[in-house]
């Protein structure tokens, strides 16, 4: 793995040259995974429209907090800042991909099977008590489904946005969320979740559905809309998202005292507490 580099505000495409790009084949499916750091493993799953400079910046924060980051390439061009046309095309392809369940509640995306296998591999490679994971936006619920893998100990849901056609729906099969709740209760674990109050894609109804399904094991954080970054957004977020949405990436304000920085720090502390760093 390559060495660290300073964390800077993202204004241009990111070469990701401080990550080790690995082709990892699991269950007969190969994906590129960008790996960096040492310590227990944390899987950072990208939001739409791909591994942006802001997603990579968050992954570096996780790395520098003492973890080995596994950042799988799930859609889009890694490190790119696509224009509206390209970003829209990425979004449309993901919506019809067999790997994802963008529409319709009560079903889990098939790609979560691969991600659970990645968690097992990361645990074997990095050791420690287990693995953490964060999903964002399109992948927001994946960390919850990954709790069906015993190695997963620290799930974070950041603005989970699927299913797109049901604001109160959950992108997980009923028997799976029941099994996850039973495990959370049995092992005294919790799920951290984050959204902005005015998010059009991750609504208050969705968080209410999570709370009903998981009880007090679902720890929700709702940030005010005025805590979201407004200036200098990438085209996808300025023109297509058009509401406060990405808590620890595009809409994060990288200044001391900001609610989004407090959310980032709480997530890092959650990983440290659960994974023993």
Residue 6: count other Cβ atoms within 10 Å of its Cβ.
6
Structure token digits, residue 214? 């998981």
Query: Comparing 2-11, 66-75, 145-154, 253-262, which segment has the lowest mean pLDDT?
Result: 2-11
In tens, the pLDDT along 229-238 reads 998 898 889 8
DSSP 137: G
Q: How many CB atoms lie within 10 A of CB 230?
A: 11
Q: What is the mean pLDDT of the chain?
A: 94
The pLDDT value given to residue 7: 43
C-alpha neighbours within 13 Å on the C-beta side of residue 29:
16
pLDDT surpasses 90 at 10: no
11 pLDDT tier (thresholds 50, 70, 90): low
Alpha carbon distance 173, 201 (integer Å): 20
Tens-digit pLDDT profile for residues 91-136: 999 999 989 988 888 889 999 999 999 999 999 999 999 999 999 9
Which residues lie below 8 Å from residue 180, measured CB to CB, with a gap of 6+? Answer: 144, 145, 147, 148, 172, 214
* CA-derived radius of gyration, the chain: 17
pLDDT digit string (tens) for 162-219? 999 999 999 999 999 999 999 999 999 999 999 999 999 999 999 999 999 999 999 9
- Answer whether residue 8 shows pLDDT above 50: no
Model pTM? Answer: 0.94
Sign of the dihedral through C-alpha 73, 201, 67, 216:
negative
Both tokens assigned to 88: 């829209």
Task: List strand residue ranges (DSSP E) for 10-109, in order.
Answer: 20-26, 29-37, 41-44, 68-72
User: What percentage of the chain reaches a pLDDT higher than 90?
Assistant: 88
Tokens of 67: 């973890």
User: Is the predicted pLDDT of residue 277 greater than 70, yes or no?
Assistant: no
Tell me, what's the pLDDT at 224? 98
* Structure tokens belonging to residue 50: 């791909």
């Amino acid at each position: 793995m390559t060495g660290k580099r300073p964390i800077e505000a993202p204004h241009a495409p990111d070469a990701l040259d401080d990550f080790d790009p690995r082709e990892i084949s699991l269950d007969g499916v190969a994906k590129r995974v960008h790996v960096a750091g040492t310590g227990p493993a944390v899987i950072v799953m990208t939001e739409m429209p791909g591994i942006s400079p802001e997603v990579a910046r968050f992954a570096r924060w996780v790395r520098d907090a003492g973890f080995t980051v596994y950042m799988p390439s799930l859609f889009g061009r890694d490190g790119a800042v696509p224009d509206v046309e390209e970003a829209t095309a990425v979004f449309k392809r993901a919506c019809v991909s067999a790997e994802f369940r963008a529409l319709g509640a009560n079903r889990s995306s098939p790609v979560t099977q691969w991600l659970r296998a990645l968690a097992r591999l990361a645990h074997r490679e990095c050791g420690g008590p287990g693995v953490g994971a964060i999903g964002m936006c399109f992948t927001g619920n994946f960390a919850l489904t990954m709790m069906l893998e015993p190695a997963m100990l620290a799930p974070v849901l950041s603005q989970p946005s699927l299913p797109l056609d049901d604001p109160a729906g959950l992108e997980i099969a009923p028997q799976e969320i029941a099994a996850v709740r039973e495990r959370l209760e049995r092992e005294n674990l919790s799920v951290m979740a984050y959204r902005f109050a005015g998010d059009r894609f991750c609504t208050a109804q969705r968080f209410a559905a999570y709370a009903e399904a998981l009880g007090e094991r679902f720890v929700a954080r709702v940030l005010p809309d005025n805590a979201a970054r407004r200036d200098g957004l990438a085209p996808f977020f300025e023109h297509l998202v058009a509401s406060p949405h990405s808590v620890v990436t595009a809409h994060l304000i990288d200044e001391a005292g900001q609610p989004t920085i407090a959310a980032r720090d709480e997530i890092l502390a959650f990983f440290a507490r659960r994974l023993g760093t």
